[in-house]
Amino acid sequence: MTPVERARTAFAEVFGGAPQGCWWAPGRVNLIGEHTDYQGGFVLPLALPQGAAVAARARSDRVLRVHSLHAGGTAEIDLDDVAPGTPEGWLGYLAGVGWALTQAGHRVPGLDVVLDSDVPIGAGLSSSAAIECAVAVAWDDLAGLGLDRDALAAAARRAENDVVGAPTGVMDQMASLHGQEGSLMFLDTRSMDIEQVPLELAEHGLALLVIDTRAPHALVDGEYAERHASCARGAQLLGVSELRDVPVEGLTDRLATLEDDLLRRRVRHVVTENDRVMRLVGVLRSGADPRSAGTLMTASHVSMRDDFEITVPQVDAAVDAVLAAGAHGARMTGGGFGGCVLALVEAGSAGAVFNAVAGAYEEAGFDPPTSFI
């Protein structure tokens, strides 16, 4: 059964009667453009086939009552009691959307909701944006708000930033709401302009292999705070409002004006990463063989590993193993310190490439990885 079918079926058991409808939103994987979206830069994600489903019915009061098939429990809150930090836990992602819509001046009703998702949770594939965006489109329909997808993405992002308290950029929610089959979403996070860039993998005999390293995330809040602060400080010292405005031409000379080596490397990652996104988009726009994008993916990984320092041994081992097994390019995807590795591979070799990672993990004593195409 799909998440939509499971949510619809469970609704009658949990709440009695039928839902008014089911809404679905996907997770995402970022092909390239990491830690650029809070510096006005460029990202290039694609929506996943995996997503979150909500079966929902409007209530006559303002209570949001949600049963999550994954969490295995029901939680509820009055939307008028939602505030930064309240409610704690997974309900905050959903209640936060109702709060953000209310803050934006929209009148939204309480809902009875059954939630299900097949996005791996906490793996950097944005299970959080999937559940936010699924309930955002449900509210939009049920309350007849008629909001566009940028407005829904903004509400979903506020839920995550302000209610849950996770300082993320806007890429995840935009990818979930704007992703189109067969395309990458090229997003300028300053202008919010979107270009759908066709990615013809099957036509070229290629596949994207997503490897979940299953490395445990630990103590990353302080690490993210340091990266945000370093980027802001670097921008200030270089006299720009955001690192997006630092051109890659002449970068070495500009970096030489910064005294702190750590700061130099943080800035270099963001500036060169924006350039790699533009170059990868250029490759795809020109109709060139997508294999040639692989070197940009790998260069992005090296930059995250050596300059931004957001990888972990499991992630680096997976990238090394897939490249040794013949992948055209590979990189960690998502915020870092664990999560998934994305590899561009010949479609027929995906199984062998994954086995190479599994073998390397066994040898290193890491927990076994998982994967999907």
Residue 370 amino acid letter: T
Stretch that binds ligand ADP, among 118-126, 135-143, 145-153, 268-276 (CB under 6 A): 118-126
Number of residues binding to ligand ADP, judged by CB under 6 A:
16
Stretch that binds ligand ADP, among 63-71, 180-188, 257-265, 276-284 (CB under 6 A): 63-71
Q: Are 129 and 176 in contact (CB under 8 A)?
A: yes
Burial class (CB in 10 A: 0-12, 13-18, 19+), 210: buried
Q: DSSP secondary structure string, 171-223? A: HHHHHHHH--TTEEEEEETTT--EEEEE--TGGGTEEEEEEE--PPP-SHHHH
289 to 328: interface string for ligand ADP, x by CB under 6 A = ----------------------------------------
Q: Is 30 in the site for Mg ion (CB under 5 A)?
A: no
Q: Are 118 and 69 in contact (CB under 8 A)?
A: no
Nearest distance, CB of residue 338 and ligand ADP, angstroms? 10
Nearest distance, CB of residue 168 and ligand ADP, angstroms? 7
Q: Binding partner of residue 42 among ligand ADP, Mg ion, none, CB under 5 to 8 Å per kind?
A: none
Catalytic pick among 112, 172, 212, 307: 172
The secondary structure of residue 142, as a DSSP letter, is H
Tokens of 255: 């970096």
131 to 170: interface string for ligand ADP, x by CB under 6 A = x---------------------------------------
Please, which of residues 103-132 interact with Mg ion by CB under 5 A? Answer: 126, 128
- 78 catalytically annotated: no
For the chain, percent helix, then strand, then coil, each to nearest 5? Answer: 45, 20, 35
Please, which of residues 67-96 interact with ligand ADP by CB under 6 A? Answer: 68, 70-71, 90, 93
Sign of CA dihedral 58, 59, 63, 66: negative
Q: Which residue number, 29 or 360, has a Cβ lying nearer to Mg ion? A: 29
Nearest distance, CB of residue 69 and ligand ADP, angstroms? 7
Residue 111 amino acid letter: L
Between CA 192 and CA 32, with CA 164 as vertex, the angle to 5 degrees is 40
Q: 160-189: string of b/e by CB count within 10 Å (b at 16+)?
A: bbbbbebebbbbbbbbbbbbeeebbbbbeb
List 33, 124, 294, 329, residue binding ligand ADP (CB under 6 A) = 124
Residues 6+ apart with CB under 8 A from 244: 36, 39, 40, 41, 42, 190, 274
Nearest distance, CB of residue 67 and ligand ADP, angstroms? 10
List 115, 171, 297, 319, residue binding ligand ADP (CB under 6 A) = 115
Stretch that binds ligand ADP, among 28-36, 114-122, 134-142, 274-282 (CB under 6 A): 114-122
Residues near Mg ion (CB under 5 A) are 126, 128
